[in-house]
Amino acid sequence: MKKIESIIKPFKLEDVKDALAELDITGMTVSEVKGYGRQQGHSELYRGAEYVVDFLPKIKIEVVVVDELVDKVIDVIVKSARTGKIGDGKIFVSNVEKSVRIRTGELDNEAV
C-alpha cells in the first residue's frame, strides 16, 4: 500500500476528485493547508500598508491505494491538477505499513 499526498491549487480540488472517482478510488482525505514553494507568497495592500503573505492557501489530498494503482493515480492527479503555471503543487508517495477498516476489522489491501 502507498499513501499519495498531493498539494494542489484549491480551485482544482473538484477536478482531481472527479478524476479519482473515475478510477474507482473510494475515499480520500482533504485538508486546507498553507505553505510556499517556488511560487513564494504575494502581497496585499490595505490603506497604503503593503503586507507580504508568505504562505498561500493550498489543498492537500491524501489517498491510500494498493501498489498496482500508484502510477495510474499519480498520472490522473497530474493531468487533472495541472494548469501549467507556477504553484501547481507537488505529489509525494510513501509506504503504508498497515491499514484497518474500523467497522469490520478488515486489514491492509481489503481496508483501503
Partner 1 sequence: MRSKLLALATMLPLSTLWAAEEAAAEAAEAAPTLDVGNTAWVLTATALVMFMTPAGLALFYGGMARSKNLLNTIAMSVMGYIVASIVWVVCGYTLAFGTDISGVIGFDSFFLSGIKVTDLWATGNIPVLLFAAFQMTFAGITVALASGAVIERLKFSTWIVFAALWIIACYAPIAHWVWGGGFLSADGVLDFAGGTVVHINAGVAGLVMALMLGKRSDYGKAMFPSSVTLTVLGASMLWFGWFGFNAGSELGADGIAASAFLVTNTAAAVAAFSWMLVEYVTYKKFTLLGIASGIVAGLVAITPAAGFVDTAGALVIGVVAGIVAFYGVNGLKKALKYDDSLDAFGIHGVAGIWGAIATGIFANPEVNELGTGLLYGNAGQVLVQVEGVVVTIIYTAIVTAVVFKIASILTGGARVSAEAESQGLDEVEHGEKAFNLR
Stretch (H or E) spanning 17: helix 13-22
Count of positions on this chain that bind partner 1 (CB under 8 A):
10
Closest distance to partner 1 from the beta carbon of 54 (Å):
9
- Grid coordinates representing 36 are 510556499
Stretch that binds partner 1, among 39-47, 68-76, 78-86, 92-100 (CB under 8 A): 39-47
47 binds partner 1 (CB under 8 A): yes
Q: What size, in residues, is the chain?
A: 112
Q: Say which residues have a Cβ less than 8 Å from residue 9's Cβ, sequence separation at least 6.
A: 58, 59, 81, 83, 87, 88, 89
Please report whether residue 30 would count as binding partner 1 according to CB under 8 A.
no
Out of 18, 33, 34, 44, the residue judged to bind partner 1 by CB under 8 A: 44
By CB under 8 A, residue 49 contacts partner 1: yes
The sheet with strand 89-95 has its strands ordered as 29-35, 56-65, 2-8, 89-95
User: Using CB under 8 A, which of 21, 33, 53, 100 touches partner 1?
Assistant: 53
By CB under 8 A, name the binding residues for partner 1.
44-53
